[in-house]
Structure 1
Amino acid sequence: MTSADPDVEEDEMKEDGTEAGEARTRTSAKDEDLLKELVGYLRQNRETLREEWVRHITDAQLLETMSREEIISEASAVYDNYVDALETGSMAALQAYTRDLSERIVERGVETHEVLSIVLRLRDVLARALFANYGQDAGVLNQVLNAYEPAANSIMVTVGVSFVEQRERVIREQQEAIRTLSTPVMKLRERLLLLPIIGALDTQRMQQLTGQLLEAIQAHRAQVVVVDITGVAGIDRKVANHLLQTVEAARLMGAETIITGLSSEIAQTIVNLDVSLFPMKTVGDLQGGLEDAERLLGTRRGESDTRLPGSLQSSPT
């Protein structure tokens, strides 16, 4: 039995590798040619295919918050960006347009499932058109679909992700607005602020609340803050400790804090949690807290007067 010549084997492997590489290049070039051809077909039949897509959208009762004219306008732009993305393989322009479109339609109540359903319908409309145009030759049709489907799926994912990201951004902004409205810091008079808290408290809301309060103390040069928690159902250890930190932060900003509306249930909870409220001044109800706040302000004004230079103090007549 004779051994094979290693040099011959190496040459054969090189030849096989070259042939495989050339075959891949030919296949890739053929796919590119087919993609260009189908892009040309989709552009040539733009009006018909777009109208078919719009009909599917309206028949499925999607985008009902938009007029037909608006749907046609947006569908035209999406179609053109879609075909451009198929041609170039770049999602940048489509992604930018989708972000802009999402920003406009999310606020009108368009849901994520609607957007995904709309994009799927466009993909299906175009796929059926390709079947109709290339269906007479199964081999060519298969090659066309192999070139079309990966790009179409990538486009669908890009549109879906862009919409979801935009929707999540709007939801975050709405939640932030709600939190801001639910914890308004009110100026009652010079140097006196009131912060009424209503609803559930958690660590995130307490952090947001603390930031608002400190900003208001600085802006109004407040000396006393009344925090009313009558509308708070309950708190846990983290929130109780954060409340203590808020009081300490206000003190460092030069403002005394009075907590009012501490219910018996919350008081019992704090006792059970073994949280010390020693640094905090608490008063049963809001009226009592405001009265204490007035006394504190009066005391502070009195202390300020006694510190004035003798020449500036009023002399007895």
Structure 2
Amino acid sequence: MNDENRPQGDVDEDQLLPQLVAHLREHRAKLRDEWASRIREAHLLEAMSAQEMAAETTSVYDNYVEVLETGSVEALQHYARDLSERIIPRGVETHEVVGIVLLLRDVLARSLFEKYQNDFALLNRVLDAYEPAANRIANTVAVSFVEERERVIRQQQDAIRELSTPVLPVRERLLILPIIGSLDGERARQLTEQLLNGIRTHRAKVVVIDITGAPDVDQTVANHLVQTVDASRLMGASVIITGLSPKIAQTLVTIGVDLSKMNTIGDLQGGLEEAERLLGYHVSTEEGITSS
């Protein structure tokens, strides 16, 4: 007797899921192709080539069915992270991942309906076994993808910040921190962290912070600069600030920043000369810079 014609009592409860999985594996090629067609109709994964999409949909299908069989959420999370690492660089968005998983859930549910439509009671039992597992898979994949995407975004932001606030060793015990672009509270905090790490790593005694490329600073950032100077002193390094624009200088005076804590020099060249003086170097036009 065919499965679809069996009466309800002929299928034990613990055999429902294995029977369901066997059906999905038996019709793998047909169901995967139907799912891929639905993905194209919905205009999802268009950033991927046809070959890439075929490979990924096959992989997702097989893992989906395996998780239905084993119920291993841990294995699914691991797979979802691997999938995310592969497809995020290709420009796949979060809504696309959620969309394709929901489409697969629906394609498989329709197939189960067609298989068991002649036994409504058995169909209900099969769907009761399938739907919670399918929904758990969809939720797990979506959450894992979002977490991986956020991790990638954080890495990119950190890389951009590091490039925009490089701590540069100029000579022994001397660092330069050129600041380019707008400063906000978050970037100012990162600037302090990078600078203090640089002071410790290079055993710096003098730091030149050049803000020629900073268009403006507000009170919060100005106060943070003062804190950075204080923290650097605690680490044993003197700080020279160069490149103050008239606008920023006016702002510092207006908001009442304690300028006695800041050693300011007009330009970077003057700041470097002052730094070399503090380090015991002197400039000779004929012989260059020498230590005293």
Counterpart for residue 63 of structure 2? 81
Q: Report the equivalent of 2:253.
A: 271
Residues 87-119 of structure 1: CA deviation (Å, up to 9, x unaligned): 233212111111111112112221101111111
Gaps of 5+ in 2: 1-7, 284-290
Q: Which has the larger radius of gyration?
A: 1
Q: Could you tell me which residue of structure 2 aligns to residue 58 of structure 1?
A: 40
Q: Which moved more, 1:246-255 or 1:180-189?
A: 246-255
Match of 1:13 in 2: none
Which structure 1 residue ranges, 5 or more long, are not aligned? 1-25, 306-317
Q: Corresponding residue for 2:109?
A: 127
How high is the sequence identity, in percent, across the aligned residues? 63
Local SS of the residue matching 1:150: helix
Matches within 5 A, 1:1-317: 31-298=13-280
Give the alignment's TM-score, normalised by structure 1.
0.78
| Contact 2:165–2:179 (8 Å) recurs in 1 | yes
Is residue 276–residue 282 contact of structure 2 (8 Å, CA) maintained in 1? no
Amino acid corresponding to residue 154 of structure 2 in structure 1 = R
- Asked if structure 2 preserves the Cα contact closer than 8 Å seen for 1:257 and 1:281, the reply is yes
Q: How many Å separate the matches in 2 of 1:30 and 1:190?
A: 78
- Work out whether residues 240 and 271 of structure 2, in 8 Å CA contact, stay in contact via their aligned partners in 1: yes
What do you get for the CA RMSD once the two structures are aligned? 2.6
Shift of 1:125: 1.0
Contact map agreement 1:81 1:93 (CA 8 A) in 2: no
What is the alpha-carbon distance in structure 1 between the residues aligned to residue 202 and residue 45 of structure 2?
Answer: 47
- Once the 2 structures are TM-superposed, how far is the Cα of residue 299 of structure 1 from its aligned partner? 6.5
Per-residue CA deviations over 1:159-217 (Å, capped at 9, x if unaligned) read 00000000000000000000000001122333332111112223332222122222322
Corresponding residue number in structure 2 for 1:312: none
For 1:202, the aligned partner's letter is D
Aligned to 1:12: none
Letter in 2 for 1:290: L
Aligned AA (2:274): D
Aligned mates of 1:66, 1:276 — CA distance in 2: 56
What SS does structure 2 have at the residue aligned with 1:278?
helix
Normalization by structure 2: what TM-score? 0.85
Q: CA deviation at 1:41?
A: 1.0
